[in-house]
């Protein structure tokens, strides 16, 4: 195997695991995003097929340059938002406290002056109302600069920055809710991937012609190795679900042992992550299998063909070994997040009374 090809494979693998690791741990924080329902999981491959085939038709009958221009502009705007969201926790740690969300949300009279770093914007035509802080502005400016460089140069590094931020934020915010919903989604996309790659030329044609930051790239020889963001995000949200299940079991065990569950962030990450690591390692094995088959046959492979069985077997195998199958199938993210929100509310009430 050529050295540059081996390096590109390792680089793509690295680009895949980093957002899954970061996004999974970020997903432990409660969000206002609703979990996917079973209906959403069933419809996802259908909607994905419609979008994919529509793009294929556009490339067939419309100007490739115009299609790519419109889609690049659209995904660049989304990418700027993804970068701002990705940078938000980082900027919150290095910027002055009065710029952070915690300072803006404070209701004490001592911190009222710090509200000047919080802004409200109304968009008259569409009726949108946006609330943001100075940290959001800084993140958007950074994202905008990267977006301009990407549009002007289409450099693979700026493309990958967008890809990494897209993947991390998606894994952080998209919640499957339950194992059943995750399994339905993965199995549906398993057949989706097989059909569109082996059954038609649609997937490969769109992947080659679609010039937008929806994939990660790495140079090799005279071209690039690539990995679609869907092959990172879809398994990634399932891996994140397994980490949240681990955390749920950890919290439940503490309750049963009558231990103090009001833990800070440093203590909260010290829990058994068996389901997370077994599913994560299974994902890596599936991705390595994909690259191996791709290298042997020199033909585009549906990555989910190898990844989906691996992550399902890895997670189910862990449940069987630990005897937690009933708990796994009965788990829903609401059981974890409702508990966390209730604890946070109790903490706030205690602070007010003091």
Active site residues: 193, 231
Please, where are the H alpha helices in 210-324? 230-256, 265-268, 274-297, 303-322
- Best CA proximity match to 20, nearest among 223, 218, 286, 343: 286
The torsion angle over the Cα atoms of residues 147, 44, 130 and 77, rounded to 10 degrees, is 10
Q: Angle formed by the axes of helices 333-353 and 230-256, to 10°?
A: 60
Question: What token pair was written down for 316?
Answer: 């189910």
Tell me the angle at which helices 3-26 and 274-297 cross, rounded to the nearest 10 degrees: 150
- SS3 state at 144: helix
Look at phi and psi of residue 174 and say left if phi exceeds 0, alpha if psi is from -120 to 50, else beta: beta
What pairs with residue 228 in β-bridges? 215
Rounded (5°) CA angle 139-143-148? 150
**Encoded tokens for 7:** 């390096």
CB contact at 8 A, 176 and 34: no
> Pick from 217, 170, 239: which is nearest to 11 by CA?
217
Pairing of strands 128-133, 215-220: unpaired
Kindly list the distances between the CA atom of residue 183 and the CA atoms of 176, 270, 279, 336, in Å, as whole numbers in the listed order: 9, 27, 13, 20
- Cβ-based burial of 340 (10 A; exposed 0-12, middle 13-18, buried ≥19): middle
Question: Is 24 in contact with 243 (CB distance < 8 Å)?
Answer: yes
DSSP symbol at 140: H
């Amino acid at each position: 195997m050529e050295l540059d090809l081996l390096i590109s494979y390792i680089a793509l693998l690295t680009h895949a695991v980093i957002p899954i690791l970061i996004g999974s741990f970020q997903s432990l924080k409660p969000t206002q995003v609703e979990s996917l329902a079973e209906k959403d999981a069933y419809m996802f491959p259908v909607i994905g097929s419609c979008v994919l085939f529509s793009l294929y038709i556009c490339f067939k009958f419309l100007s490739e340059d115009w299609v790519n221009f419109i889609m690049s502009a659209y995904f660049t705007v989304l990418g700027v938002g993804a970068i701002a969201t990705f940078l938000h926790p980082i900027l919150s740690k290095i910027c002055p406290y009065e710029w952070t969300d915690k300072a803006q949300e404070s209701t004490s009279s001592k911190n009222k002056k710090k509200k000047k770093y919080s802004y409200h914007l109304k968009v008259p035509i569409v009726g949108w109302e946006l609330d943001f802080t100075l940290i959001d502005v800084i993140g958007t400016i950074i994202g905008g600069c990267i977006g301009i460089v990407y549009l002007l140069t289409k450099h693979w590094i700026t493309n990958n920055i967008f890809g990494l931020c897209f993947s991390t934020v998606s894994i952080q915010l998209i919640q499957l809710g339950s194992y059943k919903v995750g399994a339905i989604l993965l199995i549906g996309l398993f057949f989706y991937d097989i059909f569109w790659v082996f059954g038609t030329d649609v997937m490969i044609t769109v992947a080659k012609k679609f010039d937008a930051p929806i994939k990660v790239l790495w140079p090799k020889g005279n071209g690039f190795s690539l990995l679609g963001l869907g092959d990172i995000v879809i398994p990634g949200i399932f891996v994140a679900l397994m980490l949240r299940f681990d955390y749920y079991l950890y919290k439940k065990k503490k309750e049963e042992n009558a231990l103090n569950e009001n833990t800070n962030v440093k203590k909260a990450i010290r829990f058994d992550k068996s389901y997370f690591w077994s599913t994560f390692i299974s994902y890596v094995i599936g991705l390595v299998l994909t690259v191996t088959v791709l290298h042997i046959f020199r033909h585009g492979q549906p990555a989910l063909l190898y990844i989906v069985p691996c992550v399902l077997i890895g997670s189910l195998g862990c449940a069987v070994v630990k005897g937690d199958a009933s708990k796994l199938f009965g788990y829903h993210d609401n059981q974890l997040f409702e508990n966390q929100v209730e604890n946070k509310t109790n903490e706030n009430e205690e602070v007010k009374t003091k």
